[in-house]
Amino acid sequence: MKVILKENVESLGKIGDMIKVSDGYARNFLIPKGLAIEASTKNIKALTHEKRNIEEKAQKQRKKAELLREKLEGLTCPIYRKEGEQGKLFGSVTAKDIEKVLADQEFKIERKNIKIEEPIKTLGEFPVEIKIYPEVTAKIKVVVISEE
């Protein structure tokens, strides 16, 4: 089934792309979630008319993402944890913990967009990548500090 994407879908394409997917995937996932519409002749004509609006919307979202990246770039997130012997933490620092610290600093980032290379289980400074928009990522520092 051919569909037209109404939103950016990471594994499929960008807004306005016409792609071919399996019928079940389109009917059960993409269309009900509002991520795509069926590519009928009527919708294809409407797409050519709306493509300009879609591109403008994508440019605005990208500009917002660029501004957010500038604010986030080089940001330090302190996280306090109890430590055991040899500097190891009780548990590990997760994307949920980082999301909470960023929310306290008034940044609304979803935890699925926070990419931690490996679980943080010791004290120290760790680089973390945040995907804000396709092809727009920011790098922050997570500093794990001993809680006294």
Mean pLDDT of 3-27: 88
Residue 57 pLDDT level (bands cut at 50, 70, 90)? confident
Beta bridge partners of 89: 83
Cα(26)–Cα(114) distance, integer angstroms: 28
Question: Which residues, listed in sequence order, are joined to residue 131 by a DSSP beta bridge?
Answer: 137
Quote the pLDDT of residue 135. 85
The domain ranges of the chain are 2-64, 73-146
Fold held by 2-64: Ribosomal Protein L9; domain 1 (3.40.5)
Q: Which residue has the higher pLDDT, 52 or 128?
A: 128
- The pLDDT tens digits for 98-129 are 999 999 988 888 989 999 988 888 888 999 99
Could you say which of 3.30.1300.10, 3.10.430.100, 2.60.40.10, 3.40.50.880 is the CATH number of the domain covering 73-146?
3.10.430.100
Q: How far apart are CA 125 and CA 116, in angstroms?
A: 13
Q: What is the pLDDT of residues 74-104, one digit of tens each?
A: 888 999 888 887 778 888 888 999 999 999 9
Please name which of 4, 1, 6 lies closest in space to residue 43, comparing C-alpha atoms: 4
pLDDT of 143 reads: 92
